[in-house]
Structure 1
Amino acid sequence: MLVEDDTDLTELLTETLVDEGYVVDNAPDGQRGLHLGLTRPYDVMVIDRLLPALDGLDLVARLRSRAVPARALMLTALGTVDDRIAGLDAGADDYLVKPFDLDELSARVRALCRRTADSTEALRIGAGLLDLSLRDAVLPDGSRVALSAREFELLRVLAARPNTVHSRAELRSRVFDEAAAPSLVDTYVYYLRRKLGRTTVRTVHGLGYRLGAL
């Protein structure tokens, strides 16, 4: 996601990133950036600091308060040490001062993508998250829901491969054990839906279950 109100710079950065193989969503102001950040999964967010509607610092802080895990690179003409500290404290992962070299921007985005790929802190579930460190679910409004050990593991298996349909036998083997009753999978799917909503786990009739959305 690229949040930048300068149309010429937006066009230049978008062209550069697309040429390197990225899919880029653009937001011309902080409010649009907030909407995109809360409703779509991103690996990296490139955010200008001085934005209309919602300042870049506030945007990053709000996204972090809602447990959005995407790495954030902040672009700004404000380059003092205090400015950089403010950006990092708001939740940015990196800070690049204007004017900047496009090759450096590209290198920093690649570095943040590698950090995202190596991260095992959370798994995306629609607009929500499964927090792997605290072992609970984060709803789209930022609230957290505690999970039992088996609820967490069942949801983790589904979220790790979100487009895969998992049979009951596979889930029983990976989450419980071979000796467990087959109906135990259905019981814990019911528990997850009761805690997190019916769309959290989707039934694929005749085949099993796949991840839904929070």
Structure 2
Amino acid sequence: LHLQTKNKEVNSVTYVCYICAKDCNDWWNSWERVSNNEDDVATLQKRVSELEKDNAYLKEKADDQENRKSAEGRDMVAFIQRLIPTLLGRENFPTAPMVERAHRTPAHISTPRPGRPRPILVKLLNFQDKVKIMRLARERETLSWEGARISIYPDFSPEVVKRRREFDNVKKKLRVANIKYSLQYPSTLRVIVGGKPKHFRCPKEAEAFFRDTSSLPGQET
């Protein structure tokens, strides 16, 4: 009888331990699910925040493009024909230059900074108009239209653009030193040093030569 009583007590304790172990396991599984859900919620909140930023950027970009379309009108060719005399002087263009076609570059070709419009590609019918436009743009140095800075430059192939951009660092140094320069086609840097023209076809050579630009006086190209 005593042994049977002990067996019942052991069985009872074993059952209680089983229940406790099961409860602990259930609690652990529940805690793990809650933890995973919290991680999922945090991930979703981060994603929602990113999507909200993307949406705000796209809305701003769409508004900007809509505003530009209103300013430029639906006829880009006519807009360019009006813009060139405005920028470079109507006295230089008593008759608007003949534009064969004009359009903004595709988004996958140009990679402008956020908020910066894509460049406009313009093809002129008269080569002499192109020469005149480039000359006047160089002479005026700074061009603006309705408060926005305008840059005019030839349309280069991607390879030429890449080679010209390799001179960006030394060009910054020249600007800081107040030294005028020109970047000739296809990718040659030209400056006047000591009254004589100096040409650099290699960016590294130009960097080495102008390493100490502060000691060089401002020169005219």
Q: TM-score, with normalisation over the residues of structure 1?
A: 0.23
Which one has the bigger strand percentage?
A: 1
Higher helix share: 2
Q: TM-score normalized by structure 2?
A: 0.23
